[in-house]
Amino acid sequence: MTVANDGVPADEFETDLLRNLAHQRGTTRQSASAQDIYQALALTVRDRLVDRYVKTAATYYETNPRFVYYLSAEYMLGKQLPQNLLYSGLQNQARDALEKLGLDPAELEDLDVEPGLGNGGLGRLAACILDALATEDIPAVGYGIRYDLGIFKQTFEDGAQVERPDDWTFYGNPWEFAAPDDQQPVGFYGKVEDGKWTPDEIVLGEPSHMLVPGYGTQTVNLIRLWRARASRASFDLSRFGEGRYGEAVDAIVRSENISKVLYPDDSTELGRELRLKQQHFLVTCALRDIVRRYRLRNTGWDAFTEKVTIQLNDTHPVMAVAELMRVLLDEEGLDWDRAWLIVRGTFAYTCHTLLPEALETWPVALVERLLPRHMEIIYLINFHFLQEVEQAYPGDTGRLRELSIIQEEPERRVRMAHLAVVGAKAVNGVAELHSKLLRETTLRPFAELWPERFHNVTNGVSPRRFMLIANPRLTGLISSRLGDHDWLRDLDRLSELEPAADDSAFRDQWREVKRANRRDLARYARAVTGVALDPDAMADVMIKRFHEYKRQLLRVMHVITLIHRIRRGETAGLVPRSVIFGGKAAPGYYAAKRIMRLANAVADVVNGDQQLSAYVRMAFLPNYNVSGAELIIPAADLSEQISLAGKEASGTSNMKLALNGALTIGTLDGANVEIRDRVGADNFFLFGLDAGQAVALKQAGYRPRSWYEADWELRETIDFIATIDGGALREVADDLLNRDEYLTLADYRAYIECQDEVAHAWEDRDAWTRMSILNAARSGFFSADRTVRDYGREIWHTPAVPEA
Ligand code: H2P
């Protein structure tokens, strides 16, 4: 499909491609490798986007607008080639040119590497938000770290996750522009005298940027990523001369380690220090750049808060609060009150969790050693803040303790979420329920003190990435019904699809699209796992980071229940399913990795048994990432969103799947609540405890073993877990019986019954398709474009600046 064709004739594109092959790659058509052609193609597309970027930049210079600066430790950008081809409207020209040259576009697309600079939903959200900002013509720059190695590559050996490094730029990255002449010094360690910090170690931050085009608009924004470089003098020539090669590069390695990997293992002291170094590195570089950009267009500090708004994506970049204070006080000579007013008028903070253990804290001793001046500033911020608290609640030492930025027990630590709330003008959760629970639980004392500071901005996803690029078949069908594809910029227009749910010819087409997508997925699953999925079976999908609260274990327990039922011959009411898993577990997270092994072991059982695989086949697709999502989501019929209520902040795969016509089976958690409100209770399979019931059950003294004793089918399921693979995963069963932190046993029966309902509903394929269409038609709200409009209205106050 083409959009906004930029009018480049195919032969001109071909000429440019060949020119880039010669001038940029220094080779000829005859001797070029596939990599040469891919790079030349990418550069040719990039050139067109640069032309647009130059115009956007000129408009921004002329209008001196207010900018959104988005600071995030993670970005899951997805492949750039398909997106940039589409957004530049060059898809047809590129295809024609390649075909004329006798090249296969699909083969070249395979060479395009996905920058996996993130972990899960938080990182993908950041990418969707950048996409939407450009699409909405909002002046913005995203700042992040250019990790040498992105999120690890996942494979399985004997069912266990194996992590391999992801050297994503091994062959170079044609999409980025490095700017080694724009390096910024970042200090660490050292001492403070009279409020002046002399760092002991200086590392250089070197930026490179990539272009972030908007869809259906001329705007092109930037994402600027920083990598750590050692200063030029770091190589120890004399040691090298002595043959001490390792020591000769020690200083270089130490500096460059800062941007070596995403989330270094933090189970050691050194690992934790490295993470804090990364955070300080990111915010220092970003703030220097933001100030530099501000100064290009403004003088003095008066206009700063009017021209700059900085969104902190979770706690990772929150050290920016202290760093901006340091810059204003120590480098710019502002007094405390003025500096604090600027800081407080600049930052906004998005919280992405409800789990108290996921709110970062850093040992005071570590911060003192690594960033001594920042620690002083944090103490001062806290001092002023606690005076304010004392005024609001005189004599209430409990409040002071609860609110303080410094935690005292059992170890003195800096609470980064507290620093964020104190230093920001706005705080938001990422779904209605999440924002409510943040106010009532995780950040309650702050919400009581400053109710007006708290907001909700429900997450959203890019319809371009997850419909147009991922699901061209469905996009084509929807466009043919709606008469154009402008709905990709105005997703509420999907509601125009509602009447089509009652049109049987349309339902047939819709079903055909799903089937074709399932066929593609089956082909892929076969290639990577050897499992033969049946394209007519229901694609039952659970794709997300592995975490106990998300309850992948509950999903596996349903499959085990089916195994027993099939073996007993209780097959009435069963429908064939392809159970699909995708997701990674943090390398040090043993409990999640055990669940993964269990999932793989259960998959082996069902796939290797004819009687079972007539009803269930199971594929755990390794290395789930954005490209994996693009393949799985369009094929999905059932979306598993089964976290314990009150634990998932929002979820975003739930949105992507509903938009692509999957029906949700889910708890009242995160954005599931809003999805159900919108698509209608009749078109959503709800089960389980709600957040209030979950808390009440725990408070009443939850005893998982009594649930086990009361339900023979549950007993059978857990006993199976205890004995599979000769008892190798017994710990999973023991943990369920003795702890079951996330109330899996309590929700088991409701989940199984709900899955029975799902099977029953699937039997009436026509009614299912109707529900599927209604899910898509009513999910327009979950566009990231709406999300950034909400941020714009509630928090950023950023007018759009379309190109003149
Ligand atoms: C997190 C939350 C999700 C949320 C996402 C984006 C951290 O993602 O847990 O509930 O939707 O941020 O706000 P994830 O678990 O996928 O890493």
Q: Output the domain CATH number for residue 192.
A: 3.40.50.2000
442 and 506 share a domain?
no
Q: Please report the atom of ligand 1 found closest to the CA of residue 652.
A: 11
Measured over the CA atoms of residue 674, residue 677, residue 682 and residue 688, the dihedral's sign is positive
Q: What is the DSSP letter of 640?
A: E
Q: Does 483 reside within a domain?
A: no
Q: What is the pLDDT of residue 561?
A: 98
**437 and 555 share one domain:** no
Local confidence band at 608 (pLDDT 50, 70, 90 cut-offs): very high
What is the helix (H) or strand (E) element at residue 783, kind and residue range?
A: none
**174, 250: one domain:** yes
- If asked whether residues 96 and 120 sit together in one domain, one would say no
Q: What is the mean pLDDT of residues 164-187?
A: 96
pLDDT in tens, 340-361: 999 999 999 999 999 988 899 9
Q: What share of the chain is helix, strand, coil (3-state, %, to 5)?
A: 55, 15, 30
> How many angstroms separate the alpha carbon of residue 603 from the centre of ligand 1?
27
Q: Return the best residue to mutate from 72, 122, 129 for the ligand 1 pocket (most ligand atoms within 8 A of CB).
A: 122
Say if 801 falls within a structural domain: no
Helix, strand, or coil here: 660? coil
Could you tell me the distance, in angstroms and rounded to a whole number, from the CA of residue 352 to the centre of ligand 1?
6
- Rounded to the nearest angstrom, the distance between the alpha carbon of 653 and the centre of ligand 1 is 10
Q: Name residue 117's beta-bridge partners.
A: 75
The answer to whether residue 488 is domain-embedded is no
- At position 653, the amino acid (one-letter code) is S
Residue 181 resides in a domain: yes
pLDDT for res 1: 33
Whether residue 510 is found in the same domain as residue 415 = no
Residues 651 and 770 in one domain: yes
CA 438 / ligand 1 centre spacing (Å): 14
Do 100 and 68 belong together in one domain? Answer: no
Nearest to 604 by CA among 573, 656, 560, 555: 560
pLDDT, residue 22, reads 97
* Ligand 1 midpoint to CA 115 (Å): 19
In the reported structure, the alpha carbon of residue 76 is separated from the centroid of ligand 1 by a whole-number distance in angstroms of 12
Give the largest CA-CA distance in the chain.
82
Cα(430) to centroid of ligand 1, in Å?
9
- pLDDT at residue 649 is higher than 60: yes
- Torsion of Cα atoms, 553 then 558 then 560 then 562, to 10°: -170
- The whole-number pLDDT of residue 3 equals 38
Claim to verify: residue 121 and residue 106 sit in the same structural domain: no
Domain with 734 in it: 497-780
* Ligand 1 atom index nearest CA of 119: 17
Q: Which residue's alpha carbon is at the smallest distance from atom 15 of ligand 1?
A: 121
Give mean pLDDT, residues 353-373.
95
Q: Looking at per-residue confidence, does 3 or 463 come out higher?
A: 463
Distance between CA atoms of residues 460 and 652, nearest Å: 7
Give the distance (Å) from ligand 1 centre to CA of residue 351: 10
Q: Give the nearest ligand 1 atom to 358 CA.
A: 7
Burial degree of 187 (CB within 10 A; 0-12, 13-18, 19+): middle
User: How much is the pLDDT for 594?
Assistant: 98
**Six-digit token string for 599:** 């999932």
Q: How far is the CA of 670 from the centre of ligand 1 (A)?
A: 10
Q: Is there a single domain that holds both residue 8 and residue 26? A: yes
* % of the chain surpassing 90 pLDDT: 95
Nearest CA to ligand 1 atom 3: 651
Instruction: For 33-69, write each residue's pLDDT tens digit.
Output: 999 999 999 999 999 999 999 999 999 999 999 999 9
CB atoms inside a 10 Å sphere around CB 764: 11
Residue 443 lies in a domain: yes
Q: What mean pLDDT is reported for the chain?
A: 96
Tens-digit pLDDT profile for residues 737-787: 999 999 999 999 999 999 999 999 999 999 999 999 999 999 999 999 999
Which residues are part of the catalytic machinery? 352, 544-545, 550, 652, 656
Q: Check whether residue 431 and residue 300 sit in a common domain.
A: yes
Per-residue pLDDT tens over the stretch 611-632: 999 999 999 999 999 999 999 9
Average pLDDT over residues 589-613: 98
In this structure, the strands spanning 616-620 and 308-313 are: unpaired
Q: Is the pLDDT of residue 2 over 70?
A: no
Please tell me the residue having the least CA distance from ligand 1 atom 6. Answer: 122
Q: Where are the alpha helices (DSSP H) in 136-192?
A: none
Note whether 314 and 356 are same-domain residues: yes
d(CA 102, CA 773): 40
The per-residue pLDDT for range 6-24, each reduced to its tens digit, is: 667 778 999 999 999 999 9
Residue 27's CB is within 10 A of a number of other CB atoms, namely 15
In a domain, 489, yes or no: no
b/e per residue, 460-494, with b = 16+ CB within 10 A? bbbbbbbbbbbbbbbbebbbebeeebebbbebebb
Q: Which residue do the tokens 């796992």 mark?
A: 529
In a domain? residue 465: no
Residues 505, 105: Cα–Cα separation, whole Å: 33
Is residue 596 domain-shared with residue 612, that is, in the same domain? yes
Q: What pLDDT sits at residue 318? A: 98
Rounded average pLDDT over 89-93: 92
Q: Is the pLDDT of residue 5 over 80?
A: no
Both tokens of 767, joined, read 């009614």
What pLDDT was estimated at residue 4?
A: 41
- Radius of gyration of the CA atoms of the chain, in A: 27
pLDDT, tens only, 530-566: 999 999 999 999 999 999 999 999 999 999 999 999 9
Kindly give the distance from the C-alpha atom of residue 664 to the centroid of ligand 1, in angstroms, as a whole number.
18
* CB hemisphere CA count around 451 (13 angstroms): 3
Convert the pLDDT of each residue in 276-294 to its tens digit: 999 999 999 999 999 999 9
Mutate-to-test residue for ligand 1 from 72, 352, 545, 656, highest number of ligand atoms within 8 A of CB: 352
What residues contact residue 220 under an 8 Å CB cut-off, 6+ apart? 49, 52, 53, 56, 134, 211, 212, 213, 214
H-helix or E-strand spanning residue 380: helix 372-392
Any domain includes 464: no
Which atom of ligand 1 is the closest one to the Cα of 670? Answer: 10
- The rounded distance, in Å, linking the Cα atoms of 324 and 367 is 16
Q: Residues lining ligand 1, CB < 6 A?
A: 119-122, 125, 352-353, 430, 459, 544-545, 648-652, 670
Confidence of residue 491 (pLDDT cuts 50, 70, 90): very high
The structural domain count of the chain equals: 3
Q: pLDDT grade, residue 225 (50/70/90)?
A: very high
pLDDT band at 804 (very low <50, low <70, confident <90, very high): low
